Amino acid sequence: MLILNCPYCGVDAEESELSAGGEAHLKRFGPGSSEDEFHDYLFMRENPKGVHFERWRHSNGCGKWFHAARCTQTLEVFGTYSAQTTEPPKELKDAITAKRPGWTWREYE
């Protein structure tokens, strides 16, 4: 059972109280972008064994979207953070580095 702490209402919410929102920090390529960029934006997703960043929504709760960093291999949750950001906070990245030295995820490391 996955348990994530909602950064907005502060509760440790069980998976059944949440909705998964897919990969985090997608950059949108809309009108004016090339077909390749649009294709990659629509279809190409990370599928890591290890550190992963996702969007979740506390749908049966405060209703807010937030981000979560977790390990797809061990289901360890490294932390959750606000949705009002375009990249993971530095403290969280440092905490992940302490546990998984040398991790990378897209452009982050």
Partner 1 sequence: MSEPISALNHARYDGIAKVRECGLQGMITLRGDLSDKVLAKAVKDATGQKMPGQREALVDGESGVCWMSTDELLVLVPYAEVEAKLAALTNALSGTHALAVNVSDARAVFSISGSNAREVLGKLAPVELSVEAFQPGQIRRSRLAQVAGAFWMDDAETFRVVCFRSAADYVFKLLKAAAQPGSEVGVY
Q: Give the DSSP letter of residue 16.
A: G
Is residue 62 within the footprint of partner 1 (CB under 8 A)?
A: yes
Stretch near partner 1 under the rule CB under 8 A, chosen from 4-12, 25-33, 41-49, 99-107 = 4-12
User: What residues form DSSP beta bridges with 23?
Assistant: 54
How far apart, in whole angstroms, are the C-alpha atoms of residue 29 and residue 18? 27
Closest distance of CB 77 from partner 1, Å: 16
Of 2, 5, 11, 89, the residue at the interface with partner 1 (CB under 8 A) is 11
Q: Give the separation between CA 21 and CA 98, rounded to whole angstroms.
A: 27
Where are the extended beta strands (E) located within the chain? 3-5, 12-14, 19-23, 51-57, 65-71, 77-82
Q: How far is the CB of 42 from partner 1 (least distance, A)?
A: 31
Q: Is 10 in the site for partner 1 (CB under 8 A)?
A: yes
For position 21 contacting partner 1 by CB under 8 A, the verdict is no
Among 2, 4, 5, 17, binds partner 1 (CB under 8 A): 17
How many other C-beta atoms are found inside a 10 Å radius of the C-beta of residue 48?
Answer: 14
Binding interface with partner 1 (CB under 8 A):
8-14, 16-17, 60-64
